[in-house]
Structure 1
Amino acid sequence: MLEVIEIQQKASQGRTEPYLCRLSDDKRYYIKGPQAGAKGLINEAVCAFLGRALQLSLPPHCCAFLPQAILRFDDAASRVLGASDSMVFASELIPDLLEVTPTSVLNIPAHYARDLFLFDYWIRNEDRAMTENGGNPNLFYRASSNQYVVLDHNLAFDSSYNFNSNANVHLAYNAWFSEQHDALWRTHYSAKLAIALQGLAQYAATLPAAWLEEAPGHLAEINNALSLFNSDEFWEVLI
């Protein structure tokens, strides 16, 4: 298991106030700890696994140990990350990222935008909004690799999620609904979701016990939400 060995600086944005740190593999990661809550940390880890299983570009990630000792002389970090040993969600730093704008969002390849729209619907995530006036896309572009990078899923699996109220402000709404889908679109996506979900149980077994104990039943709720793709109702709103 990786361990946080150096706290470097707080991220310039992010409601959960992630910190850039160096881990024991000598790579730099943004970490989220107690400030995100156990459910938020579970959400981050589960969505990172599912997103990568669906071949969306999410940074490499892990659950890492944060020892109290390195927080002892950093009051600001302690206020955010806690003052005791903890397990954190760590997302590897991807350099040179540019946040997608209302203009640049038009350049996203259609197939990628559609996959992202379906992913956020599946995980009940409202936190990828974009209008002509801006928003909170949590989607970044890296020119050096011509790659879009997806971040931040602590607010996924929202029990009050309402597709009709939120879908039209998703940054990929037009990409999904602007073209008619072919006859096999549901079969295509159903197979992808099934494969991703099939591996989740094994992955979830590796999550920190402290998170699961603090949020009992949350994994079951997540699995129930994800399994809805097996119903006709799940797909009807996407037509």
Structure 2
Amino acid sequence: MLDVIEIQCKASQGRTEPYLCRLSDDERYYIKGPQAGAKGLINEAVCAYLGNVLQLNVPTHCCAYLSPALLRFDDAASRVLGLGDSVVFASKLISDLLEVTPTSVSNMHAQFARDLFLFDYWIRNEDRTMTENGGNPNLFFRAASNQYVVLDHNLAFDSSYNFKANACTHLAFNAWFSAQHDAIWRSHYSAKLAIALQGLAQYAATLPPAWLEEAPGYLAEINDTLTLFNSDEFWEALI
């Protein structure tokens, strides 16, 4: 596990107020700690793992130890990150990111947009919205690599998730429902989700015990949600 060795500054946006820090690998990461809650931290880690398996370009992530010494004289950071002696979720900084706009969303590659829409449906994430008046896309574009970068999953696996009520505000709604799906679309995506889920138990075993102890049984709830793709009802909502 890496260590947080320097707290630099708070991010300019983000409801959970992530902090940009330098870790013991001498790279910079945005970290989230107690402000995201144990379930939020588990969500971030699990969704980062699943998103990367599905090739959605989620930043490199890890868990990192945050020492109390770094927060002792930083009242602003301690208000958000607590008193330390804790394990935080760390998402590696990718420079030169621009938050997507309605125009850039409309130019997104259709296959990537559909993959992202299905991913958010699978993980019950309503926090990737975009309308003509703006939204909260949690999606960024990096011109240098011509890639979209997918971020922020602390609100995934929402027990009150309502697909019918909120799907239309997802930034890739039109890309999914305006497409003519071929005869093998369900089997294509089922295979991808099965592969992603297959390695989750092994990955989840590496999560910090403190997170899991604070949210007992939560990983089992996540697994139950993710296995719903084996049902007809899961796919019928997408037609």
TM-score, length-scaled by structure 1: 0.99
Where in structure 2 are the equivalents of 1:1-239 lying within 5 Å?
A: 1-239=1-239
CA distance in 2, matches of 1:179, 1:43: 30
TM-score, length-scaled by structure 2: 0.99
CA distance in 2, matches of 1:179, 1:62: 36
Q: Give the letter aligned to residue 45 of structure 1.
A: A
CA distance in 2, matches of 1:103, 1:182: 27
Q: Give the letter aligned to residue 186 of structure 1.
A: R
CA distance in 2, matches of 1:113, 1:51: 13
1:55-74 per-residue CA deviation (whole Å, 9 max, x = no partner) reads 00110000110011111110
Counting matched residue pairs gives 239
> CA offset at residue 84 of structure 1?
3.0
SS where residue 127 of structure 1 aligns?
coil
SS where residue 90 of structure 2 aligns?
strand
CA distance in 2, matches of 1:226, 1:159: 13
CA distance in 2, matches of 1:65, 1:167: 37
CA distance in 1, matches of 2:55, 2:84: 36
CA distance in 1, matches of 2:129, 2:155: 13
Q: Give the letter aligned to residue 193 of structure 1.
A: L
> CA offset at residue 180 of structure 1?
1.4
CA distance in 2, matches of 1:147, 1:121: 22
SS where residue 135 of structure 2 aligns?
strand
- Runs of 4+ aligned structure 1 residues displaced above 6 Å come to none
CA distance in 2, matches of 1:101, 1:151: 15
